[in-house]
């Protein structure tokens, strides 16, 4: 629609600005005057000024504060968006678990848990989840525990004797506590099998994934599994892996308003998209058969294949992964760690800006956290991952994980809610409202 600014004198130049960026509160570029005709595409929430946080989108990446203009007709209210903050990898490494527990104080309510780890002292993932629930009783009614399925870290719940095709024939000297193949190896292993072995591999894969859900679902913890995700995104590595994951997900139901619904899953739509593309290409290059194989092909094809199978599953519109990493070349402490924290706080704000101004209705914001001492030597991090069987995780990223926790704390320590226009969502909302995006793609 085209709206005309009413003639009520000169529009205050502090407010009537056009912003050539996806953020609505960045540097101004142009001033609009009275009588100007503006095509308004939609109304969004943005920076709050004088109690008014509505902004009009007047171009592809241009916005004007609604308080600076009077329009010739009323505009519809902006859509309120939902965001879910999820911390991955609970149940493997103590300092990671401690970081997730710390984040509960600042509003974290969604946790993706391993169920297949057992440490040398006999402590298991399930016991760690039980301890978390006991220590976090104030948050328990709001906590949404999901299963972080894995075939690349830890040990099979079924036992290696029942899923031998998923397990190493010899122990990895770096990760003696892990029976699974490394994520850089699993695809080559699958492709090395003949047709009969591949069929058996997929049977064992589905059996193991189901077992990782069932062991929590049938435990004495009396807490339902609320969502599913996959460690290292290995279910994107091959169409057969897609199919196996989908079939397992469809087998599990949750009660909702007197009916049953499917367990919601993590979205295939990733932001920044280039990060996911780079990861899939890297995984393809690490494979000895990458030249003409699936992972090294167009990632959009993977997205289509994945979403086409999700006709009856639900997920948030998009998952934000831009808060993760990087893996620094040098150990980040002191000044350098503080710089990384500021960078990650900015990433949180960028995710808010994107969600507010995009067509997406919901977002899952992915967190990888760590608490504990700021070790002077990275070898300490390395021993943490090795001793737990936390394979396929670069210990050098643990600096960035600490920065993720600190940035999350500093963002929400004094203000628990997201900015105007965004509310903290839940996986229950996802089950009720959000079908898998692009599910009708061809």
C-alpha distance from residue 308 to each of 91, 170, 190, 242, 405 (Å): 32, 37, 23, 10, 35
Q: What does pTM read for this prediction? A: 0.85
Q: Report yes or no: 301 and 290 within 8 Å, Cβ to Cβ.
A: no
Q: Looking at residue 159, what is its pLDDT?
A: 93
C-alpha distance from residue 311 to each of 86, 263, 268, 345, 410 (Å): 24, 13, 14, 36, 39
Residue-wise pLDDT tens digits, 202-239: 999 999 999 999 999 988 887 889 999 999 999 888 88
> What string of DSSP letters covers 293-345?
SSTTS-HHHHHHHHHHT-TT-B--SEEE-TTS----SS---HHHHHHHHHHHH
Domain 81-433 sits in CATH 3.10.20.600:
no
- From the number of C-beta atoms within 10 Å of its C-beta (0-12, 13-18, 19+), residue 122 rates as exposed
Domain locations in the chain? 2-68, 81-433
Q: Looking at residue 13, what is its pLDDT?
A: 34
13 sits in the region (left: phi over 0; alpha: psi -120 to 50; else beta) called: alpha
Residue-wise pLDDT tens digits, 309-348: 555 678 899 999 988 876 654 555 667 888 889 999 999 9
41 sits in the region (left: phi over 0; alpha: psi -120 to 50; else beta) called: alpha
Q: Looking at residue 131, what is its pLDDT?
A: 93
pLDDT above 80: residue 297 = no
């Amino acid at each position: 629609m085209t709206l005309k600014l009413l003639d009520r004198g000169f529009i205050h130049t502090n407010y009537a600005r056009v912003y050539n960026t996806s953020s609505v509160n960045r540097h101004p570029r142009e001033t609009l005057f009275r009588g100007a005709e503006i095509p308004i595409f939609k109304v969004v929430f943005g920076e709050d000024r004088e109690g008014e946080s509505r902004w009009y989108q007047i171009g592809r990446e241009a916005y004007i504060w609604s308080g600076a203009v009077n329009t010739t007709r009323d505009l519809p209210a902006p859509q309120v968006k939902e965001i879910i903050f999820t911390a991955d990898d609970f149940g493997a490494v103590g300092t990671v678990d401690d970081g997730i527990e710390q984040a509960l104080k600042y509003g974290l309510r969604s946790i993706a848990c391993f169920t297949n780890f057992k440490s040398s002292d006999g402590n298991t993932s399930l016991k760690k989840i039980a301890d978390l629930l006991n220590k976090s009783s104030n948050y328990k009614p709001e906590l949404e525990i999901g299963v972080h399925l894995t075939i690349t870290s830890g040990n099979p719940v079924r036992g290696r004797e029942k899923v031998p095709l998923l397990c190493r024939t010899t122990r990895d000297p770096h990760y003696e506590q892990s029976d699974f193949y490394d994520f850089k190896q699993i695809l080559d292993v699958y492709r090395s099998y003949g047709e009969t072995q591949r069929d058996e591999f997929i049977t064992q894969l589905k059996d193991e994934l189901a077992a990782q859900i069932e062991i929590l679902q049938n435990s004495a913890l009396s807490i339902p599994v609320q969502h599913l995700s996959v460690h290292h995104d290995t279910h994107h590595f091959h169409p057969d892996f897609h199919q196996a994951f989908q079939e397992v997900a469809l087998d599990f139901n949750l009660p909702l308003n007197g009916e049953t619904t499917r367990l919601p899953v993590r979205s295939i739509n990733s932001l920044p998209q280039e990060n996911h593309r780079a990861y899939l290409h890297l995984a393809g290059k690490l494979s000895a058969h990458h030249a003409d194989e699936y992972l090294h092909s167009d990632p959009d094809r993977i997205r289509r294949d994945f979403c086409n199978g999700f006709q009856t599953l639900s997920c948030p519109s998009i998952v934000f992964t831009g808060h993760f990493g990087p893996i620094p070349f040098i150990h980040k402490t002191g000044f350098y760690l503080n710089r990384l924290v500021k960078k990650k706080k900015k990433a949180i704000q960028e995710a808010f800006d994107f969600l507010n101004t995009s067509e997406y209705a919901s977002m899952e914001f992915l967190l990888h956290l760590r608490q504990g001492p700021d070790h002077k030597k990275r070898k300490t991090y390395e021993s943490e991952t090795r001793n737990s069987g936390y394979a396929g995780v670069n210990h050098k990223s643990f600096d960035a994980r600490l920065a993720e926790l600190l940035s999350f704390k500093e963002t929400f320590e004094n203000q628990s809610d997201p900015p105007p226009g965004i509310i903290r969502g839940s996986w229950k909302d996802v089950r009720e409202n959000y079908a898998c995006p692009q599910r009708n793609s061809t």
